Structure 1
Amino acid sequence: MSVTIDVVLPCLDEAAALPGVLGGLPSGMRAIVVDNGSTDGSASVAERLGAMVVHEARRGFGAAVHAGVSAATSDIVAICDADGSFDLAELPRVTGPVLAGECDLVLGRRIPVSRGAWLPHARIANAYLSRRLRARSGIILHDLGPMRAARRERLLSLGLRDRRSGYPLEMVLAAAREGWRIGEVDVTYRPRDGRSKVTGTVRGTAIAIADMSRLLRKRG
């Protein structure tokens, strides 16, 4: 199979979700599962299902994604959670504008399929951060979600430094600073398999808000 796009999937204890997640991978895309210290055999499951596995010992969403993007070899890379909340079959919606040269960075705007898909505290936090982003930078986005796509070399050239929950926002801020065309497309959002390490807990959401708020203060 000719690989057109590498899909980076940060992973921490997602063994139960991986079969369904990887089963939706479109033709021509290669999954790079970045194991971020799993204890449930996630790496073995990913390897058995044909994914490339990268091990990143440093905990954090940014650390895992950076390791995956660094290991990728395709011109365009996509990023997505490995918890089953997204359908990888919808990735062409996100990668399409980048492939067509219409956008430099595309984010998937989460559209929940049920009330339980996006917990209230996580949705409120996302709306709060999106409003602050618009107020501080003029960037109009409705969602700072993790499903996104860009050209690999350009993404690495941004020199992103956050290795925790601030990474997604830092990417948007750095891309805007470089004059990138940033787009947004709708993607469905489903209840994840198991409990989220970030948005599934109030504490995790608070940490994400703190990380992203710190970046916005620096911007201001």
Structure 2
Amino acid sequence: MTEEGLPEWLEPVARAARTVAPEQLSRFLPPERGGRQSAVLILFGEGTHGPELLLMERAGSLRSHAGQLSFPGGALDPEDGDPDGDGLLRAALREAEEETGLDPAGVQIFGVLPRLYIPVSGFVVAPVLGWWRSPSPFHAVDPAETARVFTVPVADLTDPANRATTVHPSGHRGPAFLVESALVWGFTAGVIDRIIHFAGWERPWDRGKQVPLDWRS
């Protein structure tokens, strides 16, 4: 894991990864014991419209988080090794390759955010930050698990017109993004929101603008 050679625009993200505290990212923090160790890859690249982020849409038939937009990632396998060592990094890259077909050799890991918790599935998630130094083709490897894989310009994520608040049936409110004909919400939107904030990319937006989870209905 190294920050050497990062583009200048990514340096605020690397700096935030070194200094941010878990409670600054989410109110859902890992329990003292239990939880399934997992990792997601938050992969930044340079596209035709400037800096961009890799996302995927989960298949609608999945048992958990069906149809949601997410980062590539999943639970650690035994071959990934120690979750307190480099196991999280290996898991993030392995899962990204399995789900999107990207070449992990072209990804430079430059940071890891504090681990967070997803109560509904019991996952303890390490957000692994990557720079797509040498981009490679990508696609939905298994349509039974992934509906599509795509990149979103960071400028679209920071555009106030694309930002909103969702209200879960439980009453929990959280940030959301309307991009690429889809609604990004939940864990993924929460992490993107905090990265944008702590990187200094945030622009004033209407927090009173609410979007229902069934916004397409």
- TM-score by length of structure 2 reads 0.29
The structure richer in strand per residue is 2
User: TM-score, structure 1 length as denominator?
Assistant: 0.29
